[in-house]
Amino acid sequence: MDYRTVLTTCTYCGCGCNFYLEVLDGEPIGTIPCKTSPVNEGKLCIKGWNVHEFIRNEKRLTTPLIRKNGVLEEVGWDEALDFTVSKLKEITDRNGGDAIGFLTSAKVTNEENYLLQKFARAAVGTNSVDHCARL
Ligand code: SF4
């Protein structure tokens, strides 16, 4: 039996509470609030207490999808990234960076949100960045 705890950040909302994910034989089985986190000080809301339950949900998308001839098809990450880069270049070449907007999520970390807005502004050249919390 292999039991471990992994310190991580809750992905359910933008508060960024920390907890220890309990992992038994490679399977997430529970969460323990992190008492030393300055964000949540040992507390979690009901979503944080149960965050381990969705990790293995069969409805999660784990493979990129590209619509081909009107139908979503599973593709590899290299193809998905190449497709995305080519479309971003095509649009910015034709209409400039402001023709593109980025929507990010409360379900990723603040650091990931920071990286996306940095990519939008510095690499693509648009200030059109918004967040699902405002949708
Ligand atoms: S535990 Fe609750 S409040 Fe904290 S980040 Fe997760 S969803 Fe948000």
Which atom of ligand 1 is nearest to 49's Cα? 1
- Is 108 or 127 the better-scoring residue by pLDDT? 127
Taking only the tens place, the pLDDT of each residue in 17-28 is 999 999 999 999
What is the residue extent of each domain of the chain? 3-53, 61-95, 96-135
CA distance 71 to 65: 9
How would you classify residue 80: left for phi > 0, otherwise alpha for psi between -120 and 50, otherwise beta? alpha
Taking only the tens place, the pLDDT of each residue in 26-58 is 999 999 999 999 999 999 999 999 999 988 888
Task: Annotate the chain with three-state secondary structure.
Answer: CCEEEEEEECCCCCCCCEEEEEEECCEEEEEEECCCCCCCCCCCCHHHHCHHHCCCCCCCCCCCEEEECCEEEECCHHHHHHHHHHHHHHHHHHHCHHHCCEEECCCCCHHHHHHHHHHHHHHHCCCCEEEHHHC
Residue with CA nearest ligand 1 atom 1: 48
Beta bridge partners of 44: none
Q: What is the pLDDT at residue 50?
A: 93
When pLDDT is cut at 50, 70 and 90, the band that residue 107 belongs to is confident
Pocket probe mutation, ligand 1, options 8, 9, 10, max atoms within 8 Å of Cβ: 10
- Which CATH number does the domain 3-53 belong to among 2.20.25.90, 2.40.50.100, 3.40.50.300, 3.30.70.270? 2.20.25.90
Phi then psi for residue 92, to 5 deg, are -70, -35
Q: Is 10 in the pocket of ligand 1 (CB under 6 A)?
A: yes
- Is 124 or 108 the better-scoring residue by pLDDT? 124
- Is 86 or 112 the better-scoring residue by pLDDT? 86
Is residue 4 predicted with pLDDT exceeding 80?
Answer: yes
Is residue 135 predicted with pLDDT exceeding 60?
Answer: no
Q: What is the pLDDT at residue 11?
A: 81
- Burial group, residue 91, by CB count within 10 angstroms (0-12, 13-18, 19+): middle
The closest alpha carbon to 102, from 83, 122, 76, belongs to: 122
